[in-house]
A and B are shown apart, each in its own frame.
Chain A
Amino acid sequence: MRQARSGIVRDALGIGIASGAYALSFGAISTTAGLSLLQTCALSLLMFTGASQFAMVGVIGAGGSVWAGAATAALLGARNALYGVRLSSLLGVRGLRRAAAAQFVIDETTAMAVARDEVMDSRLAFWATGLALFVLWNLGTLIGALATHALSNPRVLGLDAAPPAAFLALLAPRLRAREPFAIAIAAAMVALVSLPFVPAGIPLLIVAILVGLYGVFRLPASRGGRRAAPGGESQ
């Protein structure tokens, strides 16, 4: 049992270190987009959800309005609400503990927590992964931003080409089936076609609205939504 627990902590540190490296690029991209050191670090502390942070600074860096960036960030953060639903019964937290746990509800902590068989292991995985990620994500952001601040012209290092690569790396793991792949291609086309005609950042919102409509109206709405919840495979 003890070995299992130290294994959980080791996994958490491994994920934390990997995401610290990924935060270096966030710090660099955010600084290149024109955010101050304080603004960059505030995003990692307060928003603490990678895809939303990259989207926010990506939209601002591309000349979009701050509010278009904010809306995109929030839309990308919507999936965390679903993670919260999965985690709430596992974690069993109330009051202040719940308020603290909420900040840690992200892709990595959810994946680590739901992968465990025992509730106590799930809780340990959630908190250990959350804590390691939070510390190293913020540290990585600070270092990335400081290093980029020291450069006179980040464009020389090709950092303006970094955001699309970051988005692609975040997107790729979600494309393992035909439908998501088709949605990704369609979304890219819609965004490019609408881009010349609407204010910067708005193509993203058009895409979000269209995929929302697609999800609600096109997909077969199987009866009995509750059975579609995770765990339905146990007959």
Chain B
Amino acid sequence: MLWAGLLTASAACYLLKLAGLSLPARLLQDARVQRTIPLVPIALLAALVATQTFSTGHHLVLDVRAVALGVAAIAVLLRAPFLVVVASAAATAALLRLL
């Protein structure tokens, strides 16, 4: 089941890339399509940040992950490299759990 999902999603991602290179440009050059598609990652990534920080299963929770996200946000504002952002969040959560 896991493999089926992974392979299906991988195939979908590949076909989207190939579609851009292959389809006649005008199909994807509609102004609405051009403006809407870049909004999708913004909305999804923001939703992922929120749900993965403030929930466990179906419950909204406030725990060390919120502090970890705050530290990550500071790292982002300081233009830290990706790995530093992620590691600072993980280290924050680990340290707070030790307390």
| A contact residues vs B (CB 8 Å cutoff) | 18, 21-22, 24-25, 29, 35, 39, 42-43, 46-49, 51-52, 55-56, 58-60, 62-63, 66-67, 69-89, 91, 93, 98-99, 101-103, 105-106, 156-172, 174-175, 180, 183-192, 195-197, 200, 203-204, 207-208, 210-212, 214-216, 219, 221-222, 224-226, 228-229
* Cβ-based interface call for B43 (8 A): yes
Residues of B with C-beta under 8 A to A175: 42
If the complex has contacts A165-B85, A184-B46, A188-B49, are A76 and B41 also in contact, measured as CB distance less than 8 A? Answer: yes
Contact of A98 among B5, B13, B18, B55 (CB under 8 A): B18
26 contacts across the A-B interface (CB closer than 8 A): A47-B9, A47-B14, A70-B8, A70-B9, A74-B13, A76-B41, A77-B13, A84-B18, A87-B21, A102-B14, A102-B21, A158-B68, A158-B94, A160-B65, A163-B52, A166-B85, A167-B49, A168-B45, A168-B72, A183-B39, A184-B45, A187-B44, A207-B43, A208-B44, A219-B35, A228-B31
A-B CB pair tally, cutoff 8 Å: 328
B interface residue numbers (CB < 8 A to A): 1-14, 16-23, 25-26, 28-32, 34-55, 57-60, 64-65, 68-69, 72-73, 75-76, 81-83, 85-95, 97
B70 CB, min distance to chain A CBs, angstroms: 10
A222 to B30, CA, bound (A): 10
Q: Which residues of A contact B53 (CB under 8 A)?
A: 164
Known A42-B10, A103-B17, A168-B69: A85·B28 in contact at CB below 8 Å:
yes
Instruction: Determine the chain A residues whose CB is within 8 A of the CB of B49 once the complex forms.
Output: 164, 167-168, 171, 188
Residue of B with least CB distance to A70: B9
**A184 x B43 contact (CB < 8 A):** yes
- Interface of B, secondary structure class, is helix
Given contacts A21-B81, A73-B13, contact A229 B89 (CB under 8 A): no
